[in-house]
Structure 1
Amino acid sequence: MAKIAVIIDNLFEDSEYIEPAKAFQDKGHQLIHVGLEAGKTVKGKKKGTEVRIDKAVGDVSVENYDALLIPGGYSPDQLRVDEKAVRFAGDFVKSGKPVFAICHAGQLLITAQVLKGRRFTGYKSIIQDIKNAGAEFVDQEVVVDGNLVSSRNPNDIPAFVKESLKKLS
């Protein structure tokens, strides 16, 4: 089964973490929570869901994981100011391994400068940012472009999970 890195920080969108995480675990995949500080507990923005960070982003390598999940909310915007988080996400996209990005997750990938020439979707407030990064914005519930699976918002979670699980099989 796949070993999935979940890059996450405070004020993540609870449902965009909980629902994919449960679906992945239900299929036997392992989640490793990667954040700015190992041992720290981060909380969701709406329900206060608590997630304990297993590994600091500076201590991980793409080679040790099979896929990357980036939940939305304010978490990606906070992670994008950390050069190690940006490098990890960017290296993941470049590796060709699956990257699952929902809602505001695109902010981290925009900062990593890995969306140029790709088809991608995200929350409406980052549409222009996606275009400015050189990507083709596609207004669909889920967009699959090579190793990238992206969705717009929590309403798209069922389609997002379905396509993400396909990439893991």
Structure 2
Amino acid sequence: MTENSTPPPLRGIVGEPRKGKIGVLIEEHFDMTEYRLFNELFPKHGYQVVYLSHLWGNASLTFGANPDNGWVEEHVLVETEIDSVKPADFKGIIIIGAYASDRLRYQVAPRKGEPNQAPAVVFMRQALATRELKVGTICHSLWLLCADRALLQGRRVTCAHNIICDVENAGAEVVYGPEGTVDLVVDGNLITGKHPGTTEQFITTFLSEIEKGN
């Protein structure tokens, strides 16, 4: 395979569900570091990774990662429509980082005074309302929850520095340390990571939080 050739997409279900399933919301322009580590570490610890998205009436859609090195190195074939599953089907739910989270909150016909009705936003309302279900975000992925202030109001979180204003305007309390936002915050069932460089720490904590309830 040459440097700029397109690799075949990975099927959007990775590993066996020995301990359960981790649902990962995804769209075009997802973070490649997070994607690779999810696929490696969750199956290693006995969890199946299932990528979820709104498929717009298609049986499947293929999404590409951010072109971090000047070309798109990773693609995923998603066959699980987010409207066809429930948060309770999973041990945990994660929103992948990068611009995928902005695309996930798109709604075709917004109406004045009505909360965002994008399928991913509706799904996350259900997920966060299920207090025993762990929900995770890294870096930019809090953008999805910013689509509805009710999802973040009063929650303690961390995030990428360039979306701090969005997150604080959505009512969350961003936690700061000596170098900007802290690496990781656990607030009840919501686990948030600062950026892709914290992904391994995030996964370790996410698994620990899940297994506390087992």
- SS of structure 2 residue aligned to 1:69: strand
Matching residue of 1:128: 165
1:147 matched to 2:185? The reply is no
Q: Look at both structures and tell me which one has the larger radius of gyration over its CA atoms.
A: 2
Residue 203 of structure 2, aligned match among 161, 164, 167: 161
Q: What letter corresponds to residue 197 of structure 2 in structure 1?
A: N
Contact 2:148/2:170 (<8 A) preserved: no
Matching residue of 1:94: 129
1:62-77 equivalent positions in 2, closer than 5 A: 62-77=87-102
Q: What letter corresponds to residue 104 of structure 1 in structure 2?
A: H
1:61 matched to 2:86? The reply is yes
Q: What letter corresponds to residue 40 of structure 1 in structure 2?
A: L
Q: What letter corresponds to residue 50 of structure 1 in structure 2?
A: H
Residue 117 of structure 1, aligned match among 144, 154, 168: 154
What TM-score do you get using the length of structure 1 for normalisation?
Answer: 0.94
- SS of structure 2 residue aligned to 1:111: coil
Q: 1:91: how far off?
A: 1.4
Matching residue of 1:40: 61
Matching residue of 1:84: 119
Q: 1:126: how far off?
A: 0.8
What TM-score do you get using the length of structure 2 for normalisation?
Answer: 0.75
Q: 1:119: how far off?
A: 0.3
> d(CA) in 2 for partners of 1:75 and 1:107?
9
Q: Which has the higher helix share?
A: 1
Q: What letter corresponds to residue 42 of structure 1 in structure 2?
A: F
**1:11-63 deviation per Cα after TM superposition (whole angstroms, max 9, x unaligned):** 10111221133211110101111112142111111343111113111222112
- SS of structure 2 residue aligned to 1:41: strand
The alignment of Structure 1 onto Structure 2 pairs a total of residues equal to: 169
> d(CA) in 2 for partners of 1:12 and 1:115?
22
1:106 matched to 2:132? The reply is no
- SS of structure 2 residue aligned to 1:4: strand
> d(CA) in 1 for partners of 2:22 and 2:148?
19
Structure 2 residue ranges without an equivalent (≥5):
1-18, 108-117, 176-180
Q: 1:157: how far off?
A: 1.5
Q: What letter corresponds to residue 125 of structure 1 in structure 2?
A: N
**1:102-157 deviation per Cα after TM superposition (whole angstroms, max 9, x unaligned):** 01110111113311111011111110111111110012111110111111111211
Matching residue of 2:174: 137
Q: 1:90: how far off?
A: 2.1
- SS of structure 1 residue aligned to 2:127: helix
Identity %: 31
Report the CA distance shift for 1:145/1:21 in structure 2 as closer, same or farther (over 3 A): farther
- SS of structure 1 residue aligned to 2:27: coil
Q: What letter corresponds to residue 116 of structure 1 in structure 2?
A: Q
Q: What letter corresponds to residue 137 of structure 2 in structure 1?
A: A
